[in-house]
Structure formats: structure tokens, C-alpha cells
Amino acid sequence: MKISVITAVRNGRATLADALDSALAQDHSDLELIVIDGASTDGTQEVIQRYAGRLDHVISEPDEGIYDALNKGLRLAMGDIVGFLHADDRYADDRVLSRVAAALTDPGVDACYGDLLYVRRDDPGRVVRCWRAGSYRPRRLAWGWMPPHPTFYARRAVYQRLGGFDSGYRIAADYDCLLRFLGAGRIACAYIPEVLVHMRTGGASNRSPRSLLRKSWEDYRALRHNRVGGLGALLLKNLQKLPQFFIRPG
């Protein structure tokens, strides 16, 4: 079972090697690694060159943002399963993709996801939040629930059938995509009750008050567009983050 892992990066020299090392350390052998670089100017391309012989596809050119880059990766992917490892994230251990493959050996399962740790950008060993996702039930979408997108792996056929990322969203296209898959798409999703990814804080959605406002507006648009909910679901989505600061990883 081939798994395609897509990494989008722009000016990620400080963290990209850590992400790629964690992917290359996976014990799942049938792996396709795709790196989409948005014409970085900080030395990222030199980092990519060090891994060139171990990467299956590399594109380095200007793009229209992260979702445009991820869509480029989706067009290149040839794996049975597709997931995303952002340049400032890393896998929790070397068995993550084996667990993903095991979950998707069931032909009745279209996708899977797990738990996520937010860690400090300057100290990745320090946990900030623990996102324990819990099992998926369709009605939970209207309560603001969503799986952590960095831990989400779906069959490539799902993207072929339901589409990739809507680049009209600058911050929340991943949320829109998940709502489309789990809502109207009615895909069957399995939960892996383990931490799969460590994600550094400081992403595009929470860099500034303006980014937070834009994300909230885009989340609301996605909820309405996918006919899942409205302001109530948006409020619950944000409230569900609060306990994550007090949960400690088991």
C-alpha cells in the first residue's frame, strides 16, 4: 500500500530537515515523498538538494499560497493513500505511517486520523496543547468538531472524487475540505487513538489578530457552504480548543 506524503514549504530552512528526517525514518517502506517549494529565498532549496536522491518529486516555483502548493502535490501523487506533512511538523515516531496503512487495510474505510500535539516552535520538546480528537460521528460536525488535518490520511480516490483544496480560502481550505469529505461526501473515517504528529505553534492561522479574524470568517464560510452549521458551530469549534491546554499526552 503506497502512501504519498506531500510537504509544502516556503522559507522553511530552519525546520524542513526535521520534517523530512521524520518521514524518511518511517518503517512503512512503500512511501512516496513530494516536496513543493514556493520559490524560497532563505536557503530552503539547499536543504532540499541534500535530500534530492530520497525525494520522489520536487517542484520549486512561485505559487499562490499553501493550498495551491498542496494541490500541485495532489496532482503528482500516485499513492493509494495521501497525507500532508508540513515543513514545520514532524511525525511523533517511526511507526505512524504503518498505523495509517493498517487502518486503511479495511476496504470499508476511506480515511483515518489521529491525535496531535502542539509544541513550541523554539523548543519542540515542550508541549503547548494536546488535541485528542476522539471518534468521528457525523453529527459532531455541527458541534464544531473536526479531525486534526495534519494527521488526516485519505485514499487518493477520495480526492479524485471529491476534489482537493479550494484556494479561494487563504487559511481555512483544509477545514472546508474536511467538511466536504465528512459532510456531503459521507466518507467512512477511522480514528487512531494515538499522537501521530507534533506541530509547531505559530502557523498562518494564529500569527496575528488579523489572521485569527480571517480564519474565523473563513471557517464560518466553510460551515455555511458545506451546509454543516453556522455561528453556533463556529463558537463550539473555538470553545473545544480550551481543554486542549489542560490535557496532558498519555
**All residues at 6 or more sequence positions from 45 whose CB lies less than 8 Å from its CB, including other chains:** 37, 60
For 243, other C-beta atoms within 10 Å of its C-beta total 12
pLDDT digits (tens, 9 = 90+) for 81-90: 999 999 999 9
Domain layout of the chain by residue ranges: 3-245
Q: For residue 105, what pLDDT is reported?
A: 97
Prediction pTM value: 0.94
Share of the chain above pLDDT 90, in %: 87
Helix (H, G, I), strand (E, B) or coil at 156: helix
pLDDT value of residue 206: 55
Q: What's the CATH number for 3-245?
A: 3.90.550.10
Listed in order, strand segments (DSSP E) in 88-211 are 89-91, 111-119, 127-131, 153-155, 189-200
